[in-house]
Chain A
Amino acid sequence: MEKRIKVIIISLMLIGTLLMAGCNEANPDKVLSESDKTEIKKMLANMDGKVDILLFTSASGCFSCSKTETLMKEFDQLSDKISLKVYDTDKNKDMATKYDIELVPAIVVIGKEDYGIKHYGFPGGKEFNPLLEAIISSSMEGPKVSEEIGKKINTISNPVEVKIFVTPTCPSCPDMVRGAYYYSLVSDKVSTVTIMSNEFEEYSKNYKINAVPTIVFNEGFSKEGPMAEETFVNYLVVSS
């Protein structure tokens, strides 16, 4: 399993670049190019079980809802193991409350269970791959971590919500998001919310975000810049 996940991750890193711009120049009404679709399909073939993707939008106004919905509907067509459910937060307040939706568009990944993985904003640029990896991994029995990291993660005693502020052109952001999703997958105490700061200026200002990646632990302590896996896990443990 571990080897398989590694292969997926490496392959996903190499998916085409069109999503960087979030548009399909050959066909402006679409987001994914044919080569993107082919590559993603190959990756999705590694899925074990089904994954529900909940997309929250708002008809009353949203910067990237339309584009995100187009992307996720195209994505939904690439595997019968993906099931996309779209909710307008104005009409589905119960669902929005259940999943604590603060911003739209919001993407919630529900795999074998709800691992607490959420993405706010259009998942373009460098942020598409970590989300895709999380979707695939969440269909599996659970990725393995090294013994050392596993021991530390097991000491997380209380829930920790990780908020990662990113921009689509930040090279070090995907690694942080990838790591956080991974910890969410292996620990039922860790949940992760990724926020595209370029879309949510006011929300980012509330957290005094001036650089990316910035990681906020349990609405309190925050840390700017990339950090090593071990440091990240230590912050999770301390924050719990």
Chain B
Amino acid sequence: MDVFDVAILGGGPAGISAGIYAARFKLNAVVISNSLGGTAQTAHLIENYPGFGVISGFELMQKFKDHLKSFEIPVIEKHVYSASKENDIFTIKLTDEEVKAKCILIATGTKRRKLGVPGEAQFYGKGVSYCVTCDAFFYRDKTVAVVGGSDAANMAAILLASMAKKVYVIYRKEKLRGELVWIERVITNPKIEVLYNSNVVEITGKEFVEGVKLEDGREISVDGVFVEIGSIPECCCANDLGIEITQKGYIQVDASQKTNVDGVYAAGDVTSGSNGFQQIVTAASEGVIAIKSIFDDMEKSKVTLWKKE
């Protein structure tokens, strides 16, 4: 079995950028991802990735993939189950095969945070959705709620307002947060009503969602609830390998994207890096920095074998 120089776990902006730079540094790399393109693909519109003006998440990530393809980096589209390290070689277990590598770069991103209220699981797919680009179509001329107040929530509300009759944005704080461009569009859209200082405590209905109950006792009739309250890191293999995790659950990295475990690097939304500012552009940067660090360390490793100085 081939032993790769680096196995890049994750196929979002960080993983793909890392793959491109790995090829440029002539590293023998493999990208492993069960969702090449990552969650960035679900973004309705991206207006802040330099050089692209306005572009959909899917289209931008397609361009990332095109770029990766031009380097003939192998891509394995499988789920990573675990990783272990023995004699300075990592073994990554996938659905039905193993990959061996001298070092790994964890760029597994995040998964959607759930509300954790009664009715949320019961009505998943029956009015509760975590993917506005997938499901907005089903709410044409209907009333929907978006829970959250970040950029993702604001973008979701704007997309839904183009189809739905009425959109409530339910947010726990007194001001929406994120880019002012999106906030302005939300608060000036006549179809959108923002309910500040409001918490959803229950999603109600019979077969499908019929409403939400708020903490202050109000009940609002809606046909759908889009949950956009951020994400939690997918720290793949962190426990397996003894990787240090921050209090908020992110992989602790230093400025060169190294973790506390020799030979393990991390990049993108899964890390504590970039001052916690999770953007496509920062994820891509972290992936690139990680590969440079790996390259440098491998050069040094001819003497030190990836031991930190």
Binding site for B on A (CB under 8 A): 9-11, 13-14, 16-17, 20, 126, 146-149, 167, 169-173, 175, 197-198, 208-214, 224-225, 228-230
Q: Which B residues are CB-close (under 8 A) to A212? A: 134-135
Docked complex: B101-159 residues within 8 A CB-CB of A: 124-127, 129, 131, 133-135, 137-138
Interface size grouping (class) on chain B: 35 or more
Task: List the A residue with the shortest CB-CB distance to B42.
Answer: A171
B79 in contact (CB, < 8 A): yes
Q: How far is the CB of A63 from chain B (nearest CB, A)?
A: 14
Contact status A228-B135, CB under 8 Å: no
CB of B258 within 8 Å of the partner chain = no
Q: How far is the CA of A13 from the CA of B138 in the complex (A)?
A: 26
Q: Which of chain A's residues has its CB closest to B132's CB?
A: A169
Beta-carbon nearest neighbor of A125 in chain B: B58
B58 touches A171 (CB 8 A): yes
A-B contact pairs, 16 of them (CB 8 A): A14-B66, A17-B62, A20-B56, A171-B133, A172-B35, A172-B131, A208-B208, A210-B135, A210-B208, A211-B129, A211-B135, A211-B138, A212-B134, A212-B135, A224-B126, A229-B95
Contact A198 B96 (CB under 8 A): no
Q: Are A214 and B41 in contact (CB under 8 A)?
A: no
**Residues A214 and B125 in contact, CB atoms below 8 Å apart:** yes
- The answer for the CA separation of A211 and B228 in the assembled complex, in Å, is 16
Given the contacts A210-B125, A210-B127, A172 and B62 also touching, CB distance less than 8 Å? no
B35 touches A17 (CB 8 A): no
CB closest residue in chain B, given A9 = B77
Q: How far is the CB of A78 from chain B (nearest CB, A)?
A: 19
Instruction: Across the interface, name the chain A residue whose C-beta is closest to B159.
Output: A169
Bound form: Cα–Cα A167–B208 in Å: 20
Chain B interface (Cβ < 8 Å from any Cβ of A): 34-37, 41-42, 56, 58-59, 62-63, 65-66, 68-69, 75, 77, 79, 95-97, 124-127, 129, 131, 133-135, 137-138, 207-208, 224
The SS class assigned to the A binding surface is loop
Residue B35 contacts which of A11, A175, A224, A225 (CB distance < 8 angstroms)? A175
Residues of B with C-beta under 8 A to A149? 96
Docked pose: A209 CA to B37 CA in angstroms? 26
**What B residues does A224 contact at CB under 8 A?**
124-126
CA distance A214 to B224 in the complex (A): 16
Q: Please give me the 9 A-B residue pairs with the lowest Cβ-Cβ distance, nearest first.
A: A224-B125, A146-B96, A170-B134, A211-B125, A171-B41, A14-B69, A169-B133, A17-B62, A211-B135
What is the distance, in angstroms, from B293's C-beta to the closest C-beta of chain A?
27
**A167 lies within 8 A of B95 (CB):** no
Are the C-beta atoms of B69 and A171 separated by less than 8 Å? no
Partner of A10, one of B56, B62, B75, B208: B75
What separation, in Å, do the CA atoms of A11 and B56 have in the docked complex? 21
Bound complex: CA of A147 vs CA of B97, how far in Å? 11
**B125 and A172 contacting across the interface, CB-CB below 8 Å:** no
Q: Report yes or no: B96 in contact with A17, Cβ–Cβ below 8 A.
A: no
C-alpha spacing A143/B269, complex, angstroms: 36
A198 — nearest CB in chain B belongs to which residue?
Answer: B137
Q: How far is the CB of A126 from chain B (nearest CB, A)?
A: 7
Q: Which residues of B contact A126 (CB under 8 A)?
A: 58
Q: How many Å lie between the Cα of A214 and that of B129 in the bound state?
A: 12
Given the interface pairs A17-B58, A20-B58, A171-B58, the reply to whether A197 lies near B137 with Cβ below 8 Å is: yes
In the complex, the answer to whether A146 meets B125 with C-beta atoms within 8 Å is no
Contact of B138 with A169 in the complex, beta carbons under 8 Å = no
Hey, which chain B residues are within 8 Å of A146, CB to CB? Answer: 95-97
B37 contacts A171, C-beta separation under 8 Å:
yes
Whether A169 pairs with B134 at a CB distance below 8 angstroms is yes
Decide yes or no: A210 and B79 within 8 Å by CB, A20-B58, A171-B41 being known contacts: no
Tell me, in angstroms, the Cα distance from A167 to B34 when the chains sit together: 20
| Complex contacts, B62 vs chain A, CB 8 Å | 14, 16-17, 20
Which of the listed residues B124, B131, B208 has the most CB atoms from chain A within 10 Å of its own CB? B131
